[in-house]
């Protein structure tokens, strides 16, 4: 645990900085592509350290959030790479795990609600997002329509969703807010309208 946490923090810092470069750089250019790859590997580092830490501490909440966050980066990269829109077995497995994580969050939200743990709000919101995003990607793969502008829109939505996850982690760790669920949900509430607007511009 003492070795995993520093690596986890380092990976999170790398992902956050890389996402900023990717957002600010011109799309399709070398700096954007390099920043995107760096962001993905930073998210992979977060995932690979969060999983054992969640198991060691028996933290089901962290376990589910880890799958949720990494899927967004993974799917975002896959949509960037896969110009034909044809899903591989890895894509189908990833979508299945994302939807399963969302359902798991809803189940855990019920237990948290019974225990008067306000984090059931976070789990309800993230569970909804996991299911909606996972199902949207599933439809894109099944219909093989993730090409052209729709592919870019799916890439954008997932990558920005992963960025929300990183920003959320930084906020939760460094800012003390009440109620407890607020720092977990606030970045989603603030950044999601931006994602919707960017998607609209891409599709237009």
pLDDT in tens, the chain (204 residues): 678 888 888 998 899 899 888 888 777 778 888 988 999 999 999 999 999 999 999 999 999 999 999 999 999 999 888 888 888 999 999 999 999 999 999 999 999 999 999 889 999 999 999 999 999 999 988 888 878 888 888 888 888 888 888 888 888 877 777 788 888 888 888 888 888 888 787 777
Domain boundaries, the chain: 4-203
DSSP letters, 52-113, are HHHHHTT-HHHHHHHHHHHHHHHHHHHHHH-TT----HHHHHHHHHHHHHHHHHHHHHHHHH
Question: What pTM did the predictor assign?
Answer: 0.87
Structure tokens, 66: 């880890």
Let me know if 85 is exposed, middle or buried by CB neighbors in 10 A (0-12, 13-18, 19+).
middle
Question: What span, in angstroms and rounded, lies between the C-alpha atoms of 204 and 186?
Answer: 28
Question: What span, in angstroms and rounded, lies between the C-alpha atoms of 4 and 127?
Answer: 26
Nearest to 92 by CA among 107, 73, 71: 71
CA angle, corner 140, sides to 83 and 51, nearest 5?
Answer: 90
Torsion of Cα atoms, 76 then 124 then 96 then 28, to 10°:
0
Is 138 within 8 Å of 99 (Cβ atoms)? yes
State phi, psi for 86 to the nearest 5 degrees. -100, 120
């Amino acid at each position: 645990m003492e070795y995993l946490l520093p690596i986890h923090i380092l990976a999170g810092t790398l992902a956050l900085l890389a996402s900023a470069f990717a957002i600010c750089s011109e799309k399709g250019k070398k700096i954007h592509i390099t920043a995107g790859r760096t962001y993905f590997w930073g998210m992979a580092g977060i995932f690979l350290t969060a999983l054992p830490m969640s198991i060691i501490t028996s933290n089901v909440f962290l376990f589910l959030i880890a799958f949720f966050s990494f899927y967004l980066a993974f799917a975002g990269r896959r949509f960037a790479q896969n110009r034909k829109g044809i899903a591989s077995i890895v894509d189908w497995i990833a979508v299945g795990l994302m939807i399963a994580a969302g359902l798991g969050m809803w189940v855990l939200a019920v237990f948290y609600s019974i225990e008067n743990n306000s984090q059931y709000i976070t789990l309800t919101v993230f569970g909804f997002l996991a299911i909606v995003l996972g199902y949207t990607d599933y439809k894109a793969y099944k219909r093989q329509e993730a090409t052209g502008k729709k592919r870019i829109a799916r890439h954008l939505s997932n990558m920005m969703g992963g960025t929300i996850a990183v920003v959320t982690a930084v906020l939760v760790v460094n800012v003390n807010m009440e109620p407890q669920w607020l720092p977990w949900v606030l970045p989603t509430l603030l950044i999601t309208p931006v994602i919707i607007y960017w998607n609209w511009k891409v599709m237009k």
